[in-house]
Amino acid sequence: MKILIAGGDGFCGWPTALYLSQKGHEVVIIDSLIRRQWDNELHSNSLTPISSLNERVSRWHELTGRTLKTYIGDLTHYDFLRIVLEETQPDTFVHFAEQRSAPYSMIDREHAVFTQSNNVIGTLNVLYGLKEIAPDCHLIKLGTMGEYGTPNIDIEEGYLTIRHNNREDILPYPKQPGSMYHLSKVHDSHNIMFACQAWGLRATDLNQGVVYGLHTGETMMDPVLINRLDYDAVFGTVLNRFLIQAAIGHDLTIYGAGGQTRGFINIIDTVRCIEIATINPAHPGDFRVFNQFTEEFSVLDLAEKVKNVATEEGINAVIRHLPNPRTEKEEHYYRANNTKLRDLGLEPHLLNQQVLRAILHTVNRYKDRAHLRNVLPAVSWK
Ligand code: NAD
Ligand code: USQ
């Protein structure tokens, strides 16, 4: 298949591009490289030393003989996107290319406006571009489990059967997102659903949980192919942060009580989920939603798991409860369905001591690159 990967220089997009290329698909990357600029803005960095996109794709070609074509540009620039779609005529458009940090979106008004315009306009352009140039192309859009929030009932995969005044309907699951970033994903979902209904586009919204790990089989083939790994309080996600905090001798930073429960997924399963959605496309007019996570954990569970593995490695990791910089429930019911990807063949890589230890060993190798000043949260929701 011919697969366009927007956001193909990012944490999820780069390993996905390699994996699908290795599987024999024709992969084309779009990226504005803006994620690398946000590191400069925040005076932060990837814990792992990442090569330029050019170096990455050249090394991939040297190692495998496979070509990854790249377009450097912004999805919010429609003229650019049109050219890419016309030249590529993709079968599948995988859309990772958004500002994905909740804290970044909550820095101030400018960052909220930027996040929502980058994400919502980029996705709108993709929808109009597909309608105009590639109406049969399957859009695979990365959404987030955070669109649902933490309701006091089970979370379904996108839709909920509702009985009201003796009538019944299947309606989009209620959304209660917890940041300006998470809100942008909800807006995207509504726009995509409308485009499928109105124009007959086909789309899969992958409501992904928090991703952990960094390596896949392909990114480990050569140091130049290594994936990025965020540890700072703006872009680092909780489990990777705890492992890095343990390695650098920092306390494990639980925000508030630590009962916040989320869905989690290993990056190895992220790339496989994209493959599964690609080879089992939605039908024309369909807006499918899959919940893309494999296990649920509370933040406190994760801190304890990391502490135990650290202890075995001779590290004394201290768990510390900080005042929560976010507005979120710290103790709540959480149970979400996630059977659709498994029904299509996903065999989850679950979190265990061995997985944690392997990430910790990688992190140890690069721990001197961490800037301590970036570890504690400085962005408040209030
Ligand atoms: P990332 O920031 O590492 O990668 C995103 C890439 O998109 C970057 O390379 C960036 O330069 C590019 N980009 C952003 N805006 C763009 C634009 N307007 N035009 C072109 N390129 C643009 O993020 P990630 O962790 O790889 O996340 C990828 C997607 O998965 C996001 O949509 C995110 O919301 C979703 N997601 C991520 C996680 C996670 O834990 N990382 C969890 C759930 C969902
Ligand atoms: N948390 C801590 N300590 C930390 C960091 C986070 O207790 O040091 C807590 C947060 O308060 C939150 C939970 O851990 O309750 C998850 O936070 P996170 O930063 O790991 O994840 P989040 O902000 O939700 O965002 C990440 C990705 C985002 C994706 C989302 C999936 O950055 O792109 O959409 O995970 S989900 O959480 O399912 O919405």
For residue 380, being part of any structural domain is answered with no
Q: Assess whether the C-beta atom of 155 lies below 6 angstroms from ligand 1.
A: no
pLDDT digits (tens, 9 = 90+) for 321-373: 999 999 999 999 999 999 999 999 999 999 999 999 999 999 999 999 999 99
Q: Name the active-site residue from 19, 148, 185, 334.
A: 185
Cβ contacts of 354 within 8 Å, gap of 6 or more? none
pLDDT of the residue at 71: 99
User: Which atom of ligand 2 is nearest to 255's Cα?
Assistant: 7
pLDDT of the residue at 326: 98
For residue 381, being part of any structural domain is answered with no
Q: Name the active-site residue from 181, 231, 255, 334.
A: 181
CA of 149 to the centre of ligand 2 (A): 12
185 in catalytic set: yes
pLDDT of the residue at 308: 98
pLDDT digits (tens, 9 = 90+) for 102-159: 999 999 999 999 999 999 999 999 999 999 999 999 999 999 999 999 999 999 999 9
- Per the structure, how many domains does the chain have? 1
Residue 50: HSE in the Cβ half-sphere, 13 Å Cα cutoff:
23
CA of 375 to the centre of ligand 2 (A): 14
C-beta of residue 1 within 8 angstroms of C-beta of residue 25: yes
Q: For strands 295-298 and 261-266, give the pairing.
A: antiparallel
Give CA–CA dist 329/343, Å, rounded: 31
pLDDT of the residue at 277: 98
CA of 99 to the centre of ligand 1 (A): 6
Q: Which two tokens stand for residue 327?
A: 């507005």
- Owner of token pair 């790994």: 229
Core vs surface per residue 15-38: b (16+ CB within 10 A) or e: bbbbbbbbeebbbbbbbbeebbee
**Number of residues that make up the chain:** 382
pLDDT of the residue at 17: 99
Cβ contacts of 20 within 8 Å, gap of 6 or more? 3, 5, 27, 271, 274, 275, 278
C-beta of residue 143 within 8 angstroms of C-beta of residue 273: no
CATH number for the domain that contains residue 147: 3.40.50.720
Q: Ligand 2, atom 21: nearest CA belongs to which residue?
A: 237
Is pTM beyond 0.85 here? yes
Containing structural domain, residue 192? 2-375
pLDDT of the residue at 275: 98
Residue 77: HSE in the Cβ half-sphere, 13 Å Cα cutoff:
11
Among residues 240, 354, 361, 350, which one has the least CA distance to residue 303? Answer: 240
C-beta of residue 270 within 8 angstroms of C-beta of residue 264: no
For residue 211, being part of any structural domain is answered with yes
Q: For strands 159-164 and 167-172, give the pairing.
A: antiparallel
Specify the amino acid at residue 349: H
Give CA–CA dist 323/75, Å, rounded: 37
Phi, psi of 115 (to 5 degrees): -60, -50
For residue 98, being part of any structural domain is answered with yes
For residue 158, being part of any structural domain is answered with yes
Phi, psi of 3 (to 5 degrees): -120, 120
For residue 382, being part of any structural domain is answered with no
Ranges of residues in the chain whose predicted pLDDT is under 50: none
Q: Assess whether the C-beta atom of 144 lies below 6 angstroms from ligand 1.
A: yes
pLDDT of the residue at 74: 99
